[in-house]
Structure 1
Amino acid sequence: MPYTPEHKEQTRQRILQAAAKLFCSHGFDRVTLTQIMQQANMTHGAFYAHFSGKSSLYEAAMQFATSNAFWARDDKQTEGKDTHIKALVTRYLNWGKKNSEPSPLEFLVTDAAHKEEKVRKAYQACFDNLVERLEGILEKHGNREAKALAEETVVSLVGTVAIARSFAPSMQKDFLKRAKLRIVSRLNSGLKTP
């Protein structure tokens, strides 16, 4: 008896969820299909029913992670001009805290220069998505250099977390706090006052 379309989609979502979690934590090269399927509590047969290979799964998993990331969601409670920006920066720099949402960008910096084109393109799409989201917020507040400021900010966020990961835990909190103040200040200086 064939599986229903709903069952097939649920299976695909479980695989994507497991893959996104593992890829975001360890990067493309350090994750195996066996680990992904164990995380999803499924067999390899289920994998090949949905994906042609690991790089195809990576591409789909990064799209899944990006579309479900906190920066892709609108926060209806943000009213002030810089509240949304502060919330985005704060959540991004909450790396390592309980219940924090990992971003594929900071954990997958090594994937940006990967030898497989699908892997590089998936990383680029994730980067572009965050830049576009931030650019849209900045444009709403009258920033004429929104694209450049958004790119600069995303590079700062990704670099900050990537570097913080290399520090001793006792140094990470202060480093992230200083970075947050610096990044938010730079963003606020680029906003037009009403």
Structure 2
Amino acid sequence: MPYSPEHKVQTRARVVESARRLFNRHGFEQVTIDQVMASAGLTRGAFYHHFDSKDQLYAAAVASFTTCNPFAVKAAQTPNVVIDDPKQMAEMLIDLYLSDEVLENIDMQCPLYALPSDVARAGLEPQQAYTDLIRGMRHIYGVALNGMRDADMRAEAMVSLCVGGMVLARTTNDPQLRQSLRASARHQALALLKAE
């Protein structure tokens, strides 16, 4: 008896989630299809029912961050809190993105800072998924800055500060520097958000 369409969707999501976590922990080159499928509790043969290549899986793993990101998780944990002010939402994203909680949770780290060198060497599909994440984050900040002078440039600078702050924080073994890099990035991103 063939599997239902829902089963196929659920299985694909399981493979993508397994891949996202493994890629975050070990990088694209170090993770094999066999490892992804074993982590998902499936056989290698099942991989090709869902993906044509490891690059395609990588693109899906990067794109999946839009549904598994810590900001979405935080929102789900507080369902009665409605944030309809774009500036407040942008400020919350900056705070959460540069937080200790997110830095320490490798499985939930954003591909924008967890995987940049991998994506730069990857094929067009992963790069497109990564580009979509950048544009999505820029859009959140752009909406918050709507009508302000140089809004697009400010939004891109805010993305650069958040992602860059986390990239650098992840690379140092100095706890004080890790903290101050993120605090500086947060301070400057919030200043761009609030400055007229």
TM-score by length of 1: 0.83
1:85 equivalent to 2:81? Answer no
1:165 equivalent to 2:170? Answer yes
Paired amino acid for 1:111: D
Of 49-58 and 128-137, deviating more is 128-137
Change (3 A) 1:136 1:17: same
Of 40-49 and 61-70, deviating more is 61-70
Aligned-pair distance for 1:77?
Answer: 3.5
Whether the 8 Å contact between 2:103 and 2:166 is mirrored in structure 1 is: no
Q: Aligned-residue CA RMSD in angstroms?
A: 2.5
Q: Which residue of 2 aligns with 1:151?
A: 156
Distance 1:159 1:14 in 2: 30
Whether the 8 Å contact between 2:142 and 2:151 is mirrored in structure 1 is: yes
Between the two proteins, what is the percent identity of the paired residues? 31
Q: How many residues align?
A: 188
1:57 equivalent to 2:57? Answer yes
Aligned-pair distance for 1:61?
Answer: 1.7
Gaps of 5+ in 1: none
Distance 1:90 1:150 in 2: 15
**Equivalent position SS for 1:165:** helix
Change (3 A) 1:108 1:101: same
Larger helix share, 1 or 2: 2
1:18 equivalent to 2:23? Answer no
Whether the 8 Å contact between 1:51 and 1:57 is mirrored in structure 2 is: yes
Aligned-pair distance for 1:117?
Answer: 2.1
**Equivalent position SS for 1:160:** helix
1:178 equivalent to 2:184? Answer yes
Of 71-80 and 127-136, deviating more is 71-80
Paired amino acid for 1:148: M
Q: Which residue of 2 aligns with 1:38?
A: 38
Distance 1:108 1:79 in 2: 31
Whether the 8 Å contact between 1:112 and 1:124 is mirrored in structure 2 is: no
Q: Which residue of 1 aligns with 2:3?
A: 3
TM-score by length of 2: 0.83
Aligned-pair distance for 1:92?
Answer: 0.8
**Equivalent position SS for 1:49:** coil
Change (3 A) 1:26 1:132: farther
Whether the 8 Å contact between 2:58 and 2:126 is mirrored in structure 1 is: yes
Aligned-pair distance for 1:3?
Answer: 0.9
Distance 1:15 1:6 in 2: 14
Aligned-pair distance for 1:15?
Answer: 0.6
